[in-house]
Amino acid sequence: MALQQQHCEACRADAPRISDEEAGKLRGEIPDWKQVEEDGEEKLQRQFKFKDFAQALAFTNQVGDLAEEEGHHPALLTEYGKVTVTWWTHKIGGLHRNDFICAAKTDALFDERT
């Protein structure tokens, strides 16, 4: 089943981080995302571009709604004409399958707008 059709599972503090092998496979479904390290934690990040602030803010709100639905929350930076979305799992201090699912769902939201 495609990532964007899956749902997040409740994550515990002792849940394992995603393996490098599985992360490599899943990145194929979200090719526009980059894996970054911030404060010693692996994260998925992508910048989305828009015509103006109003469109960027509307997208930010859509991602917020997605986050609430999935019970998984990203860092969102909204600026004039762009939104940077960063997914990672706070409880485990790194990447979980949930982050890849939410990244794919974020891509789908963006694709619906264009």
Domain range list for the chain: 38-114
Residue 34: half-sphere exposure toward Cβ, Cα within 13 Å: 7
Residue whose tokens read 């910048």: 47
Q: Tell which wins on pLDDT, 22 or 10.
A: 22
pLDDT tens-digit series, residues 19-63 = 999 999 999 999 999 999 999 999 999 999 999 999 999 999 999
CATH code of the domain occupying 38-114:
3.30.1360.20
Write down the pLDDT at residue 103. Answer: 98
Cα–Cα distance list, 72 to 37, 50, 75 (Å): 19, 24, 10
Higher pLDDT among residues 103 and 11, named by residue: 103
Distance CA 72, CA 17 (A): 15
pLDDT, position 113: 83
Report the pLDDT value the prediction gives residue 32, as an integer from 0 to 100.
97
- Tell me what pLDDT residue 77 has: 98
pTM confidence score: 0.94
